[in-house]
Chain A
Amino acid sequence: VQLVQSGAEVQKPGASVKVSCKASGYSFDSYGISWVRQAPGQGLEWMGWISVYNGYSNYAQKFQGRVTLTTDTSTSTAHMELRSLRSDDTAVYFCAKEGAAPYHFFEYWGQGTLVTVSS
């Protein structure tokens, strides 16, 4: 199992960023994908998850209205778009493959994508 994420991004405040996560080594549409972020020197923060099987998504209230999770089963890729970026969105963003439903532990992780928000 491998999750390979897109490269580092630098964005200005107010802009949007879209991070991708390409999965391999398992049946992509059989497991959910969660997104977790980690600000510099801080702990882990769950953002939301998506069912690859039916596209259902669930977001942490903190990110409601600013984040959209999508998947493309033709390329086994998940995407996370975060809009209206602020400086405190500067963080490493991880995608993670979940365990078999309904167990949403994070079995495998991508390598992380650093998003820097700076004017």
Chain B
Amino acid sequence: EIVLTQSPGTLSLSPGERATLSCRASQSVSSSYLAWYQQKPGQAPRLLIYGASSRATGIPDRFSGSGSGTDFTLTISRLEPEDFAVYYCHHYGSSPYTFGQGTKLEIK
């Protein structure tokens, strides 16, 4: 089973700042099989990025994904008030599919 470890656990930033979220895999993951989701309280997760760097339909271009092998990054270039939420990375290359434990992005 591939274990995904996200850091930091909590990130405190202000609107307008840049956010960098990390996801590290316990073994190499094909870039084709790494996704990121955003989840707000009381809501279902929303797909942001798939294939490590492809934005999902309707996702603003301030969200970008990068990385390969065991290290992946989600970057939000300029934070908007609606971006404060919990973010999860997700590996879907082989069963069992797994999620990171999440990074909470909070307003400073």
**Chain B residues positioned under 8 Å from A58 (CB to CB):** 95
The interface stretch among A12-20, A43-51, A66-74, A79-87 is: A43-51
Contact of A46 among B39, B47, B97 (CB under 8 A): B97
Residue B15 lies at the interface, judged by CB distance under 8 Å to chain A? no
Q: Say yes or no: A46 contacts B44, CB within 8 Å.
A: no
B35, B88, B92, B95: the one within 8 Å of A43 (CB): B88
CB distance from A101 to the nearest CB of B (A): 11
A45 to B99, CA, bound (A): 7
* Interface core residue of A49, A60, A99, A105 (most chain B CB under 10 Å): A105
CA distance A107 to B33 in the complex (A): 13
> Assuming the A-B contacts A43-B99, A46-B99, are A105 and B92 also in contact, with contact meaning beta carbons closer than 8 angstroms in the complex?
yes
B50 is an interface residue with CB less than 8 A from chain A: yes
- Please give the distance in Å from A42's CB to the nearest CB on chain B: 9
A residues near B99, Cβ cutoff 8 Å: 43-46
Q: Any chain B CB within 8 A of the CB of A31? A: no
- In the complex, are the beta carbons of A112 and B56 less than 8 A apart? no
Bound-complex Cα distance A61 to B32 (A):
24
User: What bracket does the count of chain A residues touching chain B fall in?
Assistant: 20 to 34
CA distance A44 to B47 in the complex (A): 13
Contact B47 A106 (CB under 8 A): yes
Please name all residues of chain B whose beta carbon is closer than 8 Å to the beta carbon of A28 when the two chains form the complex: none
Instruction: Find chain B residues with CB under 8 A from A94 CB.
Output: 44-45
- B43-56 vs A, Cβ < 8 Å mask (1 yes, 0 no): 01111001100001
CB atoms of B44 and A109 under 8 A apart: yes
| CB interface residues, B 47-69, toward A, < 8 Å | 47, 50-51, 56
Q: What separation, in Å, do the CA atoms of A34 and B98 have in the docked complex?
A: 12
Chain A positions within 8 Å of B50 at CB level: 99, 103, 105, 107
**8 more CB-based (< 8 A) A-B contacts, given A34-B97, A44-B45, A105-B90:** A36-B45, A43-B88, A43-B101, A49-B97, A103-B50, A105-B51, A107-B56, A109-B45
Q: List 9 A-B contacts (CB under 8 A).
A: A43-B99, A44-B90, A44-B102, A46-B96, A46-B98, A103-B92, A104-B92, A107-B50, A109-B46
